[in-house]
Each structure stands twice: as structure tokens, then as C-alpha cells.
């Protein structure tokens, strides 16, 4: 996973929470639209989102893409 210096989202600068990542960050608006037909997802929508949609979201955004550490190939 990406290591960060602080708690801010690297994309929008807001505090990075699951709500910000999945529902609010403007960087991922197109992925949200594809998953939920909405540009912004409410907390209620987020509570009801399927595991499959969460996995698809993370794959499509690449947000938790794991890189290879130098010297560990």
C-alpha cells in the first residue's frame, strides 16, 4: 500500500477516510458513477454497497495497488 506522511488524501487534500475515498473524493467521481449511477455516494449508500463493488472500486481506481519494494522482486 502507499505510505503517506499525513492523514490527507493525496488526490483532494481532505482527511482520508473510507467515506472520503469511496463517496466524496472528486478524483473518483467517474468510478462512482459507473458503480452507483451517482457522482456522490451518501453514507447510507456506502453502508449498503456490496463487497464486489468495493473490490471493483479499488481495482478501477488503483488506490491500493501494491508496488514492489526495491530489492524484493
What confidence score (pLDDT) does residue 68 get? Answer: 44
Q: How many CA atoms lie within 13 A of 33 on its CB side?
A: 6
29-36 helix and 51-61 helix, angle to the nearest 10 degrees: 150
Distance CA(47)–CA(28), nearest Å, equals: 18
Question: pTM of the entire structure?
Answer: 0.66
Q: What is the pLDDT along the chain (73 residues), one digit of tens a residue?
A: 455 567 888 889 999 888 888 888 999 888 888 887 877 788 888 888 889 988 888 888 887 776 544 444 4
Amino acid at each position: 500500500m502507499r505510505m503517506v506522511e499525513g492523514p490527507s488524501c493525496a488526490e483532494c487534500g481532505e482527511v482520508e477516510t473510507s467515506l472520503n475515498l469511496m463517496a466524496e473524493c472528486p478524483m473518483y467521481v467517474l468510478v462512482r458513477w459507473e458503480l452507483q449511477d451517482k457522482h456522490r455516494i451518501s453514507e447510507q449508500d456506502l453502508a449498503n454497497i456490496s463487497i464486489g463493488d468495493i473490490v471493483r472500486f479499488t481495482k478501477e481506481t488503483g488506490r491500493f495497488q501494491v508496488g514492489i519494494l526495491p530489492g524484493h522482486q
